[in-house]
Structure 1
């Protein structure tokens, strides 16, 4: 059967095979072609008059053919039209993508990524201009004694022209004491450093057993011995206690000072082993610290008073022995309730994970089955406003050191910290458990090399 001529002649928009098999597309006669307008060709006018019930369509793509051999099944032409429209939209999308990825001969995504990097770098550089960097990257603010101790460290430089970190190098060289974390920011070590992910900054000098409440500031070089501020609430920046832990010995922390100066003196007395060559320097430094405090009329809160005040707020000791603080109403007994098991019973459950003679997969499953009722009760306690219960169990599981329990630990700490309005500790705990390391060199600068 011969094919009919398409009403749009060689200007037809359709290119699908079904349409082409039904219609010829001869070249349009010159006399029937409209003039070009600014390079755009206009479709020819219809020669036949419109029927009263017909409406003139805006574009050929909106017209359904009515006088072809398939008028008995108009859905075929509709399908052809939709296929053509789909092809057109696909081509348009492809051209758009090509345009978006071809800006002055450069890849669009590369330009976009470069602009994002520049924006992030600018924000980072601006942060480095103030102490806001510490709050932004470490999620906490530092107490007054921290900044005063930094001034003291600066006074150790014999030459004012020396770089800011000269005081750090002096203490490291003489006493094997590294001032880390926020002290490194004050020393300018973060300025111009390679950018890291948010979690990298939260893990900076965070040792294996450090809970979110603890932030390292002193480290004995080459060991797991470290000192840091203890915050029960992230916003605390006054009268903070300083605790000590040796990660090689376990999870227990001991409060040793009420300010950075006293912590430094404690370190010199207990963790620095003097030699005959350094004994004179040690005695001179101790006197210098006392004199600096006196000359500058500095008087900070002492350990005994701060510890007494905090002990009143502690609701449970926990495995790290520093205890946890949560609001507790003694009249209504609201805020904390004891776990379903004692510390001794809990440690017995967890001890199964350390037995090498039994299958570890089976041991993990058994321990989780035993812990689940305890965890369920702690979460019920959260629902009933006893937030300290879930916090206690979460911290105990964290302090056990078993990474197999991180998921359960997170399920307890997240709601507890959330209900206690301590979201910063949620971020710190998650970042730590994502990459928890027993290493002793935990500097972000090692990660970003």
Structure 2
């Protein structure tokens, strides 16, 4: 017997449990093994890291496949916040609306190239554009693309935890993940021996207002290092389609076919797939490499005010961090002579801030963050929030505050030897 209810506008993606909604709309049956609302969380089984959170873990079913009472309450409350929940159609996207929503959720502007890249992905996979590169590269689109496929909407505005959506431990506020390795593809299809399941791609902004961020990558199970990938998302995926690390064990025709389609689309839309001009221009502006090696960029005045060097080399700094981390507990760490060096550095940073050399605090705050041990979290959080506010990058201050909050910090971070 056919249902007299109207079909739910969210289709299989609907996760509302409001009785009035269920009574008003008809919902297709969903199997537990293909529930697209239960996004997989990538964590190291032994250390439960390095992913801080996938926002959708809040509604992840338990082992029986059902949501517990607390999770149901969260979902209901989310939708009660916004009775007229925004629905973004995959077929017709309101770009201005999405730009506004991205700014509210992530505190940064969404790059215009995202919309064009989504159009290309829809040509490859009309039903699931976020999976357009799954078969060829084992890579899934997440983060800002979750707005385009309606996984994120107005009902999520106002919850600070959204700032850690697909944020990995070694991702500073400047890094925003937009693509991850799909663990199933890595295990079953791809030659990724040199890449862990925590490899991810993202945008890097030196300032939260940057409209055209660079594309970078990090494999946080291996190290805190951030690597340059491309000037735009098209150039990055074009390069990855030539990378032997991602090559399919079989089916090279499919691999090459996708590359040709990307080249054709780029030519039609006048997209540069080769140039790395923006990365090269940024290199000239880098004040210090920091432990993640991608460096920091702060504005400098005509009389060279804005940044001053730390009175310690990166190698010596790493050795100091190692000595502290290798001790048995925090009580011993606080007595370590290397901690006095860190405290002295923080004192010097206060002097630097008084003279408007704000980059020094930013550099050392990033270094403490990259040390990867919670013993340094409090100092890192203090220095970074201070530096971002002084540099008029207040949105980054808010992101690091949530990233290093007590709820998100893990007891075991990757060891410093990974740096």
* 1:370 alignment partner in structure 2: 341
- What is the aligned counterpart of 2:331 among 339, 361, 367? 361
Kindly tell me: are residues 172 and 126 of structure 1, through their superposed partners in 2, closer, same or farther at Cα, counting changes over 3 Å?
closer
CA distance in 1, matches of 2:307, 2:120: 42
1:144 is displaced (CA, Å) by 2.1
The number of residue pairs the alignment matches comes to 317
1:363 is displaced (CA, Å) by 1.9
Which ranges in structure 2 are unaligned for 5 or more consecutive residues? 1-75, 184-196, 414-419
1:117 is displaced (CA, Å) by 6.8
Q: What TM-score do the two structures reach when normalised by structure 2?
A: 0.69
CA distance in 1, matches of 2:268, 2:359: 44
When structure 1 is superposed on structure 2, of 127-136 and 409-418 the one drifting more is 127-136
1:341 equivalent in alignment to 2:312: yes
**SS of match in other structure, 1:316:** coil
* 2:296 alignment partner in structure 1: 324
1:154 is displaced (CA, Å) by 1.0
1:215 equivalent in alignment to 2:185: no
- Provide Cα deviations, 1:210-266, integer angstroms capped at 9, x if missing partner: 01101111111231111111100101112x211111001110011010111111122
Is the contact made by 2:308 and 2:352 (CA closer than 8 Å) also made in structure 1? yes
Kindly tell me: are residues 124 and 300 of structure 1, through their superposed partners in 2, closer, same or farther at Cα, counting changes over 3 Å?
farther
* 2:223 alignment partner in structure 1: 250
Q: What TM-score do the two structures reach when normalised by structure 1?
A: 0.65
* 1:156 alignment partner in structure 2: 124
1:260 equivalent in alignment to 2:233: yes
1:379 equivalent in alignment to 2:353: no
* 1:311 alignment partner in structure 2: 283
- What is the aligned counterpart of 1:201 among 131, 154, 162? 162
- What is the aligned counterpart of 1:187 among 136, 144, 149? 149
CA distance in 1, matches of 2:401, 2:352: 22
CA distance in 1, matches of 2:295, 2:286: 6
Structure number with higher relative contact order (C-alpha < 8 Å, ≥ 6 residues apart)? 2
When structure 1 is superposed on structure 2, of 320-329 and 367-376 the one drifting more is 367-376
1:268 is displaced (CA, Å) by 2.7
CA distance in 2, matches of 1:436, 1:425: 17
- Provide Cα deviations, 1:62-83, integer angstroms capped at 9, x if missing partner: xxxxxxxxxxxxxxxxxxxxxx
CA distance in 2, matches of 1:304, 1:438: 39
* 1:291 alignment partner in structure 2: 264
1:289 is displaced (CA, Å) by 0.3
- Provide Cα deviations, 1:364-423, integer angstroms capped at 9, x if missing partner: 442433211101101221111000000000001001111111111122111211111101
When structure 1 is superposed on structure 2, of 144-153 and 197-206 the one drifting more is 197-206
Is the contact made by 2:134 and 2:182 (CA closer than 8 Å) also made in structure 1? yes
Kindly tell me: are residues 174 and 436 of structure 1, through their superposed partners in 2, closer, same or farther at Cα, counting changes over 3 Å?
farther
Is the contact made by 1:245 and 1:251 (CA closer than 8 Å) also made in structure 2? yes
* 2:71 alignment partner in structure 1: none
- What is the aligned counterpart of 2:203 among 213, 229, 238? 229
CA distance in 2, matches of 1:424, 1:302: 32
- What is the aligned counterpart of 2:383 among 398, 401, 412? 412
CA distance in 2, matches of 1:124, 1:255: 38
CA distance in 2, matches of 1:429, 1:382: 19
CA distance in 2, matches of 1:151, 1:438: 41
CA distance in 2, matches of 1:399, 1:288: 39
CA distance in 2, matches of 1:402, 1:376: 21
- Provide Cα deviations, 1:318-337, integer angstroms capped at 9, x if missing partner: 000001010113x5221111
Is the contact made by 1:214 and 1:230 (CA closer than 8 Å) also made in structure 2? yes
Which ranges in structure 1 are unaligned for 5 or more consecutive residues? 1-114, 441-449
Query: Greater CA radius of gyration, 1 or 2?
Result: 1
Kindly tell me: are residues 302 and 328 of structure 1, through their superposed partners in 2, closer, same or farther at Cα, counting changes over 3 Å?
farther
Is the contact made by 2:203 and 2:214 (CA closer than 8 Å) also made in structure 1? yes
CA distance in 1, matches of 2:391, 2:341: 27
CA distance in 1, matches of 2:244, 2:388: 34
CA distance in 1, matches of 2:238, 2:412: 26
* 1:403 alignment partner in structure 2: 374
Is the contact made by 1:127 and 1:133 (CA closer than 8 Å) also made in structure 2? no
- What is the aligned counterpart of 1:134 among 56, 79, 102? 102
1:346 is displaced (CA, Å) by 1.4
- Provide Cα deviations, 1:252-300, integer angstroms capped at 9, x if missing partner: 011010111111122333375333533111111111100011123x224
1:182 is displaced (CA, Å) by 0.6
Aligned-CA RMSD value: 2.9
